[in-house]
Every structure is written in structure tokens, then in C-alpha cells.
Chain A
Amino acid sequence: MIGLIRELGAQVTTGVEGLGRVARFGGHLLSSIPRPPSRFGFFVRALFDAGVLSVALICLSGFTVGMVLGLQLYTTLTRFGAEEGLGAVVGLSLVRELGPVLTGLLVTGRAGSAITAEIGAMKSTEQLDGLRMMAIDPMHFVALPRALALTIAMPLLNGLFIVFAIAGAYGVGVWRQGLDGGVYISGLEDAVLFGDDVGQSLLKSLVFGLLLGLIATFKGHSCAPDAAGVARATTSTVVTASVCILLADYVITALWST
């Protein structure tokens, strides 16, 4: 029994220590934003890696999710004679929930894991120590541009995901199921409010990007400097960031509703 309590205590202490390290890392990251020199070139390169290289995946995923959503919802709505509401339901579910969450999970799998692996590899080959020995802060040089790039890329990719998903649902609802195109669009326009729904969507994706940027760079920086350590950190980034995104989604939705 005492052993169990001791084990539990150790787990809690480790967890709290971990949170403290993340908070300290985040604080260091934030405090290095205004510090010169500007890392704009590295930021643009990181934005290209995290954003532009994710565009195809996001568009394709968005389109297929929209198609599935169009098909499922049309069938369900037909049962209640409410198929005209397809545009509204698709729009609201995508803008409020599916867009930011699915984009967050997809970007976590593609760009977040890549950033952790890259920083982890830099650590295991002493590149980060090399930077320190040149009196260059690796946090400012390596982590900051990548974390900022993820934060900026996420809302943009979210917008792209939603547009393609709406198009996918339109394709299925209008061309395959025979719903009137005007009805679909007007339903969408009437239901989705810019301030309430689009604002919530943007806020969510911004928070998800921030969380992913923090987690991906932290895991890379704190991984064991060997191949197994990098692999563990990459997996941990995907798991931790995915759970954090889902939790944050609930928290933001709950706060927004009150």
C-alpha cells in the first residue's frame, strides 16, 4: 500500500516537474520573440515547411471529409425531410469543430512530428551545442521560428480545410444527390455567423497552433540525444499534442458557449 502511494506520489511529482519545464520553456520562447536579430528568413523557411508543404494534405483531407459529411448528413436529413438544411449543418460543424480539430490533428502528424524529429536530430548530432558554443541561443535560432510558423500556419490551413470540405459536401449534395445549389449556399450563408462561428474557429486554430508549436519544439529540445530518444519524442509529440488539442477544443467551446 505504501509502495503504491509512493509510486503515485512519484508520478505526480514527475508530472508537475514536466509541466514546470514546459512552462519555463514556453516563457523562454516568448521572451525571445522581441530579441534581436530577427529570424525572419528562418521563419519564412519554417512557414514553408509547416504550411506550404501541408497544403496538398489539407486540401485532399478537407475535400474527402466534406464528401463523407455531405453523404452522411444528406441521408440522415432526408429521413426528417430536412435535406435543405445540408449547407447549414455542414457549414456549422466544419467551421466550429471539424475544421480546426481535424486540421490540428493533421498538422500535428505531418509538421509537428517533423519539427520534433528535426530538432531531436540536431540535438543528437550536437548541432544545438555547436550553436551554444557560438554564443547563439538555440531557442531563438531553432525553436522560435518553427513554433511561430506553426502558430501562423494553423489558422490559414484551417481556412483552406474548411473551404475544400464545403466544396466536397457541395459536390456530393448537389451533383450526386440532386440538392439545389442555391439552397445549399443560402443555408450555409444564413447559418454561419462571422463573429461567432468564424471567430471561434480562428481562435481555436490559433490556440492549437500555439500548443503544437510549444509541444513540438519542447519535445525536440528535451529528447534523449540518440535515435531511440528522437523516435520516442516524435511519437510523444503526436500523442501529447493530439490530446491537448482535443482538450483545448472542449475548453474553448465551453467558454465560448457561456
Chain B
Amino acid sequence: MWDHGGDRLRVGGSTLESLAEASSSDAVARSSDAHSSSSVPADAFIELRDIRLAFGKRKVFDGMSCRMRKGEIHLLLGGSGTGKSTLLRMIGGLQRPDSGEVRVAGHRLSRKNERELGEIRKGIGMLFQNGALLDSMTVLENVGLPLREHLRKSWTEIATQVARVLKSVGLEGVEGLLPRELSGGMLRRVAFARAIVMEPEILLCDEPFSGLDPINVTRIEDLLVELNKKLGLTIVVTSHHMASSLRMANQMILLRRGDCIAGSPESLAASVDPEVTEFLGEDGRSYLARLHELRSGSAS
């Protein structure tokens, strides 16, 4: 389904990691970002260290730390208000923590200015909860905007590429429509198409399945898995759609009371922590157990 035609963007020809190397070699002594000149450990492609963040008196994160391995799908779980969307925004550099460190491919985001963050963001795609499409632009212009801005492609080339990406999310012939002319599910799929059109290295998805019918849930799930397998994308997903999320996740991160519990789906299913068992519920745990059996069966 996903044919990238060999023109995959890697932040202007380099990867996020090589961008880290370049930026730090410019200022070896100047910054402790020189840290990032060493190769980024695979198990800490995205790393949050001792994060603290409060909105007014409400503490969202209180010393939360977690690591995300490169090329895996990470599922953020947690009740409403536990900071799932905020965590995604921090990884995208849209939200700075009060204290602590967010590292993406070796970059310390809190030390970057907006221009430097822009360079890093070229390697990150983000699907916002409400789509965040520009409402004065058509679907073609919305999805093609990053291609136009960063790759300077002609509108003919953009139209071809946009049509291909839209087809991969199950949409055809909607290029000329404005966002207000789309249904909620179509809007989310257009937003998803925009997030992946540049073929980023990291994909942040805030509730990618909400508002979708079962066919399109499966379609988006398959697409996420395919992007992860074929292009090695590191994907971070928040979702309340347990079945799809559990099926594809390599790591689950359960946010709770300012902190988190992270582990493989199997390890969390086996956890006796009352909050984990309560959150997953009996259905989630038995689903994970079945999934584990299926995976071990297919492996053997």
C-alpha cells in the first residue's frame, strides 16, 4: 500500500540523528548538546527525563521519566487529564516542561530555539486530536503544504503524491474540498495523510482512531504497522481504542498521577499493579494474553 518512491525526506537529506551530530559539532565546547554527537542509543531515541509540569496548581507530570526505542510503536495510555496529549506536544517541542529534559534523537529540545526546533520537526509528523487542518485551504493544499514549503515541488508533482497518500488512508477525489466540507472521520484521515506525507522518522498520533468506523480503524492500524515495518518509523500513539492499540504496540506507557509505568504489552498484562489491572480491565488483560499466545504460536 505504501510506496514511497525512493524520495523519502530525511530532514533535507539527513536524518534526525545526523542533524544532531551536525548541530553539536558546530558547538562542541559550547553546549552539552555535544552529548548528542555520540550516536543516540537505540533504546532512547525519544527520552523524557525527570519531567515536571504543572498548569496552575494542577501537576500533570511530577518527575516522570521514560524511554522510547527507535523503530517501535509506543502506546500512551491513561485516563483523561493524565497528560497524554501534553506528552506528545512535549516530544514535538510545542510544550516545554517546567523542569526535566526531553531528548529526541539526541537533541535536548529545551535548549533549542524555535528555528532549531523547526529543523528537528521536519523529521516529525503529528496528528492532532482535532485534525488542525487549515480551514481556508483545500485538502490538496493542506496535505501538500509541507511538500510545497520544504521540497519546493510543483503543484503537479504535489497533486500526484497527495492523491497517493490520500488513497492510502482510503480517500479519493476529495482534493478540492475544504475541511468544513468533510465528515469527522474524513477530516481525521486527511490530517493523518498530512502527518505522513513527508515520511517523517517519528510519527506522533493523538487519538488516531477516534471518530472512525471499524473499516477505517483497521485501515489506519494497518497503515501505521506498515509505516513502522517498511520505513522503520518510530510511532507514539495515544488511544482509547484498546484492541487496535494493543495489537500494534511494542511498548505501553501508562500515565498515572504524574508518573508512568512502561513495559511491553505482555509484561503489563502480567502486572499485578492494581492501577494497571484496573486500567486494562479483565477484557484487556485476556485480550493481551490471547495476543501473546498467538504471537508465540506464530513465532514457533
Query: Which A residues form the contact surface with B (CB < 8 A)?
Result: 37, 122, 125-127, 129-137
Contact = CB atoms under 8 A, between A and B. Distances in A.
Given A126-B132, A129-B132, 10 more contacts: A125-B135, A126-B128, A129-B128, A130-B134, A131-B134, A132-B93, A132-B117, A133-B121, A135-B118, A136-B118
A62 to B, nearest CB: 30
Nearest to A131: B134
B133 A37 contact: no
A211 B117 CA distance: 30
A135 B128 contact: no
Contact of B94 (A122, A125, A132, A136): A132
Contacts of B134: 122, 127, 130-131
A125 B130 contact: yes
B149 interface: yes
22 contacts: A125-B135, A126-B130, A126-B132, A129-B128, A129-B132, A130-B132, A130-B133, A131-B134, A132-B94, A132-B114, A132-B117, A132-B118, A132-B121, A133-B92, A133-B121, A133-B124, A134-B146, A134-B149, A135-B146, A136-B145, A136-B146, A136-B149
A134 B93 CA distance: 12
Interface in B87-145: 89, 92-94, 114, 117-119, 121-122, 124-126, 128-130, 132-135, 145
B192 to A, nearest CB: 13
**Of listed A134, A135, A137, residue having the most chain B CB within 10 A:** A134
Given A125-B130, A126-B128, A126-B130, A135 B121 contact: yes
B56 to A, nearest CB: 13
B130 A135 contact: no
A95 B227 CA distance: 64
B8 interface: no
Interface size class of B (residues with CB under 8 A): 20 to 34
A16 to B, nearest CB: 23
10 closest cross-chain pairs (CB), A and B = A130-B132, A126-B132, A135-B118, A133-B126, A134-B146, A135-B121, A135-B122, A126-B128, A129-B94, A127-B132
Contacts, number: 55
B150 A127 contact: no
B132 A137 contact: no
Contacts of B130: 125-126
B114 A137 contact: yes
A134 B128 CA distance: 12
B51 to A, nearest CB: 19
A131 B94 CA distance: 11
A68 to B, nearest CB: 38
A133 B128 CA distance: 10
Contacts of B129: 126
Contact of B149 (A37, A122, A125, A132): A37
Contacts of B135: 122, 125, 127
Contacts of B126: 130, 133
Contacts of B132: 125-127, 129-130
Contacts of A133: 92, 94, 121, 124-126
Interface in B132-184: 132-135, 145-146, 149-150
A139 to B, nearest CB: 9
